[in-house]
């Protein structure tokens, strides 16, 4: 079976973790966590970084910093991971779902404008599958309207717009270090900001609202969201290889496009670039042009030793969504992507011979159906 992803750890990664073990830098209060935060925030041109236990938690921290009321609206793309929705609802806000562009699979400024109201408190921009959204344009709109911009760059490590890194645009920006990301700590996340107030409060939210002046006296019911020293040591090592990882993923993604472009009547491929932004291919996703065969195709690929994953299921159709947030509006692009999209194996474990095999079998299945 060719797995859809497989974490790639170098010898340097392993030595970095071993070194942390030998120095007893294992806990969430280890100085190596602070080192990771400083290096990461510097890499993405931010003043402050707060390392946390995963990307979903990073979103929770971000939205808790906004002090949302029940009538405060947050514009969010429906085509994204459920963690975005969960964080908005748990923080007391009201999600307002927008559709995404049919070519980039990202939300656009027009999507934001068409969903903006006097109750809008924030916009959550998600860079999808390695291709950056037009966050530069959305940032200007948010400044004009005096609303918060939260940036989810979990799928866009190292991506840039206007020569500025993704993760540097939001009032608060978040990352994930899950095992299939361009940078991994196994599990982990990061909150970035230039606001000293947000930085101070994010540290309190992450660490049970501990008070240095009176240690076991707490003003809030917060959480233990800490990242361990062992994870931070891996993150520091992985950060050094980010550019090489991106270079590899671009070549691998472009090779898939070369192999599959002859069947564009059967499948929509991800854009190689958009408005000067090169796709970094966190994953290589394809949208089947024939509807309602995705699950069959995935099963046939599995029968041929190829693991795949379906695209995100739209947030506005999630069974867990409370009825007060449901919408009768059709978000056609998000629904189509959720029903008919899948992504293929990527990573160092997938060589060109494997890509040839995967593409050949996928095309054969599609041509037969």
Residue span(s) of the chain under CATH 3.40.640.10 come to 11-240
- Secondary structure tally for the chain: helices H, strands E: 12, 15
Cα torsion through 174, 180, 186, 192, rounded to 10: -10
With a cut of 80, say whether residue 213 has pLDDT above it.
no
The angle subtended at Cα 236 by Cα 284 and Cα 251, nearest 5°, is: 25
The Cα 223–Cα 107 span in angstroms is 31
277-316, pLDDT tens digit by residue? 999 999 999 999 999 999 999 999 999 999 999 999 999 9
Q: Angle at which helices 294-303 and 352-367 pack, to 10 degrees?
A: 130
**What Å distances lie between residue 327 and 8, 330, 339, CA to CA?**
41, 8, 18
* Exposure letters 308-326 (e unless 16+ CB within 10 A, then b): bbbbbbbbbbeeebeeebe
Cα torsion through 139, 144, 149, 154, rounded to 10: -10
With a cut of 80, say whether residue 211 has pLDDT above it.
no
* Residue 220 confidence (pLDDT): 83
CATH 3.40.50.970 fits 242-367, yes or no: no
Fold of the CATH domain 11-240:
3.40.640
* Residue 260 confidence (pLDDT): 97
What is the rounded average pLDDT of the residues 43-56? Answer: 97
What is the rounded average pLDDT of the residues 234-259? Answer: 97
Largest CA distance in the chain: 70
326-358, pLDDT tens digit by residue? 998 999 999 999 999 999 999 999 999 999 999
140-179, pLDDT tens digit by residue? 999 999 999 999 999 999 999 999 999 999 999 999 999 9
Ordered DSSP codes for 201-219: HHHHHHBTT--SSSTT--S
Which residues neighbour 344 within 8 Å (Cβ) at sequence distance 6 or greater?
4, 256, 283, 284, 285, 286, 306, 308, 358, 362
Task: Give CA 359 to chain center in angstroms.
Answer: 26
Residue 200 — very low, low, confident or very high, per pLDDT cuts 50/70/90? very high
With a cut of 90, say whether residue 39 has pLDDT above it.
yes
* Residue 221 confidence (pLDDT): 86
Unique residue bearing structure tokens 């793309």: 77
What is the rounded average pLDDT of the residues 240-255? Answer: 97
What is the rounded average pLDDT of the residues 113-117? Answer: 97
**Taking the complete model, does pTM exceed 0.75, yes or no?**
yes
Mean of per-residue pLDDT scores for the chain: 96
């Amino acid at each position: 079976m060719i797995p859809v992803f497989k974490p790639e750890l170098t010898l340097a990664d392993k030595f970095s973790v071993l070194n942390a073990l030998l120095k007893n830098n294992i806990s969430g209060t280890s100085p190596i966590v602070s080192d990771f935060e400083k290096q990461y925030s510097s890499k993405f041109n931010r003043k402050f970084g707060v390392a946390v236990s995963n990307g979903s938690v990073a979103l929770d921290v971000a939205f808790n910093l906004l002090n949302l009321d029940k009538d405060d609206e947050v514009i969010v793309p429906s085509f994204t991971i459920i963690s975005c929705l969960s964080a908005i609802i748990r923080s007391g806000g009201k999600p307002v779902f927008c559709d995404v562009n049919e070519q980039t699979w990202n939300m656009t400024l027009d999507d934001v404008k068409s969903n903006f109201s006097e109750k809008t408190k924030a916009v959550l921009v998600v860079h999808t599958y390695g291709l950056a959204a037009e966050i530069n344009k959305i940032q200007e709109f948010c400044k004009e309207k005096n609303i918060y911009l939260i940036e989810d760059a979990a799928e866009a490590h190292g991506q840039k717009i206007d020569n500025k890194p993704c993760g540097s645009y939001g009032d608060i920006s978040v990352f994930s270090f899950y095992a299939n990301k361009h940078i991994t700590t196994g599990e982990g996340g990061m909150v970035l900001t230039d606001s000293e107030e947000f930085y101070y409060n994010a540290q309190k939210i992450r660490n049970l609202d501990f008070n240095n002046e009176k240690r076991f006296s707490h003003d809030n019911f917060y959480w233990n969201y800490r990242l361990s020293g062992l994870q931070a040591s891996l993150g520091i090592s992985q950060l050094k290889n980010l550019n090489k990882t991106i270079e590899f993923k671009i070549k691998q993604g472009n090779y898939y496009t070369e192999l599959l472009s002859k069947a564009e009547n059967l499948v929509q491929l991800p854009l190689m670039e958009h408005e000067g932004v090169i796709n970094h291919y966190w994953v290589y996703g394809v949208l089947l042009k024939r509807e309602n065969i995705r699950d069959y195709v995935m099963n046939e690929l599995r029968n041929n030793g190829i693991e795949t994953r379906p695209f995100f299921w739209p947030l506005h159709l999630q069974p867990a969504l409370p009825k007060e947030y449901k919408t009768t509006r059709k978000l056609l692009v998000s629904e189509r992507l959720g029903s008919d999209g899948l992504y293929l194996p990527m990573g160092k474990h997938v060589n060109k011979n494997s890509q040839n095999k995967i593409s050949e079998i996928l095309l054969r299945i599609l041509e037969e159906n």
